[in-house]
Amino acid sequence: MANRERGEVSLEIDGTTYTMVLDLEALCTLEDHFSTPSKDAVFPELLERASRGSARHIRGIVWAALQRHHKGMTLEQTSDLIQSSGGLAGFSEKLNSLAGSTQPDPEDANEIGAGKKARPRKAQHDAAAAGVNGTSKLAVSA
């Protein structure tokens, strides 16, 4: 059974319950899967592509989310699972739930002060007035 506190989502297909979670390990696995030697793939971009309907990215997210509880599930098996559940359209609600699970609970975020704007910092010394090693170039008159 899925543990919603941990961001897990359950899906029952043909009498079998599958548990998906987009935890840190799943996110890393997903990014590794889509990264190339010349370009790192990052989760927000992958999620955006999935939301635009990319079958490859939807399947990849589902596959990565299944790995914690269903180790060894292949991409091909994930495709079969998606097809058995009514196709890509059948997974849209579950993917939205999973994507939401990667965000902190608003009450928890407020409790720790996340999302608040940082206080402005004091201005640094004027670069034109500062010399090498921070010594002043301003002349002092008597």
Q: Which residue has the higher pLDDT, 53 or 127?
A: 53
Q: Tens digits of per-residue pLDDT, 72-85?
A: 999 999 999 998 88
Q: What is the pLDDT of residues 31-75, one digit of tens each?
A: 999 999 999 999 999 999 988 889 999 999 999 999 999 999 999
How many contiguous H segments (helices) and E segments (strands) does the chain have?
Answer: 6, 2
Instruction: Answer yes or no: pTM beyond 0.75.
Output: no
**Distance of alpha carbon 109 from alpha carbon 81, whole angstroms:** 35
Residue ranges per domain, the chain? 4-99
Q: Please say if the pLDDT value at position 132 is more than 50.
A: no
Task: Please tell me which residue, 92 or 136, carries the higher pLDDT value.
Answer: 92
Element (H, E) at 10: strand 8-13
Percent share of the chain, pLDDT over 90: 42
Q: Count of CB atoms within 10 A of residue 6's CB? A: 11
Q: How far is CA 108 from the centre of its chain?
A: 18
